[in-house]
Amino acid sequence: MPDTRTFIFGSCVTRDTFEYLRPHNFSLVRYVARQSLITAANPPSTHPVPLERLSSRFQRRITQGALEGNLYSQLDESVIDLVLWDLADERTGVFQMPDGSYITRSVELDAAGLTTYIERAGGQHIPFGSDEHVVLWCSALRAFVRELAERGLHTKTQIVAPPWARRDTRGNRTSDSYGISASRANELTALYLNAAADLGFPIITVQEPLSDAAHQWGPAPFHYASNVYEELAAKILAARPNASERKRTTGRRLTRILDQEIVWELRNARSDLPIVIAVENLSQEELRANKPWLRDGLDHLGCQLLFVNDPTLTTAGSLRLGWGIGSRMASGIDTLLETVASITQTPAARRIYLGAGPSGFVAAQMALRDEAAAVILSNPDLGWVYRDDARKILIDRVGAPNHHTADYLDLRKAPRPARPPRTTVYLNEHHPLHKNHLQMLDDLRDAEVSPFGDRIGPPIRYRDRERPYGHAPDDVVAASIAVELDHLLFRSRG
């Protein structure tokens, strides 16, 4: 059996556990220690620390790496099958430097008296568990997800998270670390672990561990008895990702509502995660050919991802664009909302809608009526209400009932929900209807009358001559989704 090439980002908690994995063909390719996720996301360009005062080569190497925030460069230098990560080194907090970068406070820096150099350079300490630290860490967590996903490592990452031991093997109470007791550390760490679990990271833990009073590194609430490492290793083996787990997809499904067919697919189905609902506009021919969804590249975001296709396109085979009109018997947007509600148990306040072109119109309508958290639109064809010929042809071909009037198709006349969704709009300046889009968005940004109130910002413009009708680039859309997921994480914490 080939080795499982393992990258460790964390502390002795995971490094000591790893020794119990070696007999199972695990090899260690890199070990990044003493580095906060915050520092990795915002490393300093220079640091005022004389490393020659550190006594050992290992201390100098890991401290140099922590000061540089070299986590991502280290990930790039190895072929990796598994990333094991623990949060024990977050307990020391970070220093915020005057230039807005961060340095991880570490045991080595404190022991060598080097912390004073950082403080003299203007470093302000942000302690673990403080509101500021949690917010910074959650933002860095989103960046970590994106960096892992770009390397194909998000679904290969596990968090090793045994609670700090309250007692040791002799029955004595464990000592505090940096003024934090085991009970308090476990309470604070739960804030961070919950945020990580929300983004799909498996948590490897044990119940009521004991600290080893004779541990090789000395007594501490995170220096455990051997049976703790054995149990952690067994759970890592059981949770090791395989190809079927990485795919995390149910495949396409078909739901019939009256005379409409809704093709959909749910990925990474977990009701505890936020959900991104991507409205698609594939034609009957494209669906039969199993054409990929336009936004297949968003799987890495660590949330649920639901694709729903505009049912108008399956109702009227002659149509290329649907706008959620539906059929003679039912509104397309109503059937889509009914489908979403039946598929997911995620509350509307944790739903984010996504759409481009005509599907942007549909996504905006659905987000308003669903009272969703947010909606992200690319070149949304909202200005088509100015085109009487297009509206008439569409309604005639679908044979829509009387309630499909111009008022229904004019997003400006949609009712405003109690809490409108946060709304982000991307516009390609090479789109043929760019001026129409701008005109509609100007109307929709009138907070007095707009269904979005004051929760729609100015459009974000970009230029893509090759794809005038397409959606914004995946990395741009993913970044916006990440921002919205941050909002949901912070809101749920509050």
CATH of the domain at 115: 3.40.50
Q: Which CA distances in Å does 457 have to 385, 430, 441, 442?
A: 21, 21, 9, 10
Q: How many Å apart are CA 47 and CA 29, to the nearest integer?
A: 27
Checking if the pLDDT of 1 tops 60, the result is no
pLDDT in tens, 434-487: 777 787 788 888 878 889 999 998 889 888 888 887 788 887 888 888 888 878
Q: Which tokens sit at 104?
A: 């991880």
Identify whether residues 183 and 287 lie together within a single domain.
Answer: no
Identify whether residues 320 and 234 lie together within a single domain.
Answer: no
Edge-to-edge strand ranges of the sheet holding 124-126: 102-104, 94-96, 124-126
Q: Which CA distances in Å does 403 have to 140, 309, 326, 383?
A: 47, 22, 11, 20
**Domain's final residue, options 197, 216, 245:** 245
Local confidence band at 270 (pLDDT 50, 70, 90 cut-offs): confident
Q: Which domain holds residue 290?
A: 248-493
pLDDT in tens, 256-268: 887 788 999 998 8
Local confidence band at 392 (pLDDT 50, 70, 90 cut-offs): low
**Domain's final residue, options 245, 271, 302:** 245
Local confidence band at 398 (pLDDT 50, 70, 90 cut-offs): low
CATH code where residue 269 lies? 3.40.50.1820
Q: Which of 10-19, 178-187, 340-349, 385-394 has the lowest mean pLDDT?
A: 385-394
Query: Which single residue is written with the structure tokens 């409409």?
Result: 260
Checking if the pLDDT of 383 tops 60, the result is no
Cα three-residue angle 325-457-360, rounded to 5 degrees: 20
Q: What is the mean pLDDT of the segment spanning 357-380?
A: 92
Q: Residue 430: exposed, middle, or buried by beta-carbon count in 10 A (0-12, 13-18, 19+)?
A: middle
Q: What is the mean pLDDT of the segment spanning 66-82?
A: 86
Closest CA to 186 of 85, 39, 88, 83: 88
**Residue 21: Cβ within 10 Å count:** 23
**Domain's final residue, options 197, 228, 245:** 245
pLDDT in tens, 120-175: 888 899 999 998 999 899 888 888 887 887 787 888 899 999 999 999 999 999 99
Identify whether residues 352 and 318 lie together within a single domain.
Answer: yes
User: What is this structure's pTM?
Assistant: 0.56
CA 465 to mean position of chain CA atoms: 30
- State which amino acid sits at residue 166: R
Identify whether residues 104 and 85 lie together within a single domain.
Answer: yes
Q: Which residue has the higher pLDDT, 49 or 77?
A: 77
Checking if the pLDDT of 249 tops 50, the result is no
Query: Which single residue is written with the structure tokens 């209400």?
Result: 385
pLDDT in tens, 181-210: 999 999 999 999 988 887 778 999 999 999
Number of domains within the chain: 2
Identify whether residues 281 and 229 lie together within a single domain.
Answer: no
Identify whether residues 253 and 241 lie together within a single domain.
Answer: no
Q: What is the mean pLDDT of the segment spanning 28-50?
A: 84
Q: What is the mean pLDDT of the segment spanning 68-79?
A: 86
Local confidence band at 300 (pLDDT 50, 70, 90 cut-offs): confident
Identify whether residues 294 and 385 lie together within a single domain.
Answer: yes
Identify whether residues 95 and 215 lie together within a single domain.
Answer: yes
Residues near 68 by beta carbon (within 8 Å), at least 6 away in sequence = 43, 44, 47
Q: How many Å apart are CA 98 and CA 452, to the nearest integer?
A: 38
Q: Which of 22-31, 127-136, 311-320, 403-412 has the lowest mean pLDDT?
A: 403-412
Q: Which of 182-196, 217-231, 279-293 has the lowest mean pLDDT?
A: 279-293
Q: Which residue has the higher pLDDT, 101 or 440?
A: 101
The 3-class secondary structure across the chain, one letter per residue, is: CCCEEEEEEECHHHHHHHCCCHHHCEEEEEEEECCCHHHHHCCCCCCCCCHHHCCCHHHHHHHHHHHHCCHHHHHHCCCCCEEEECCHHHHHCEEECCCCCEEECCHHHHHCCCHHHHHHCCCEEECCCCHHHHHHHHHHHHHHHHHHHHCCCHHHEEEECCCCCCEECCCCECCCECCECHHHHHHHHHHHHHHHHHCCCCEECCCCCCECCCCCCCCCCCCECHHHHHHHHHHHHHHCCCHHHHHCECCCEEEEECCEEEEEEEECCCCCCCEEEEEECCCHHHHHCCCCCCCHHHHHHCCEEEEEECCHHHHCCCCCCCCCCECCCCEHHHHHHHHHHHHCCCCHHHEEEEEECHHHHHHHHHHHHHCCCEEEEECCCCHHHHCHHHHHHHHHHHCCCCCCCHHHHCHHHCCCCCCCCEEEEEEECCCCCHHHHHHHHHHHCCCCCCCCCCCECCCEEECCCCCCCCCCCHHHHHHHHHHHHHHHHHHHHC
Q: How many Å apart are CA 389 and CA 396, to the nearest integer?
A: 11
Checking if the pLDDT of 334 tops 90, the result is no
Positive/negative CA dihedral, 394, 397, 398, 401: positive
CA 328 to mean position of chain CA atoms: 39
Q: How many Å apart are CA 170 and CA 34, to the nearest integer?
A: 29
Identify whether residues 106 and 239 lie together within a single domain.
Answer: yes
Identify whether residues 322 and 397 lie together within a single domain.
Answer: yes
Q: Which residue has the higher pLDDT, 446 or 31?
A: 31
Identify whether residues 211 and 308 lie together within a single domain.
Answer: no
Mean pLDDT across the chain: 84
Identify whether residues 461 and 341 lie together within a single domain.
Answer: yes
Q: What is the mean pLDDT of the segment spanning 46-69?
A: 74
- State which amino acid sits at residue 140: A
Checking if the pLDDT of 316 tops 60, the result is yes
* Cβ 231 vs Cβ 268: under 8 Å: no
Strand partners, 460: 426
Q: Which residue has the higher pLDDT, 439 or 308?
A: 308
**Residue 244: Cβ within 10 Å count:** 8
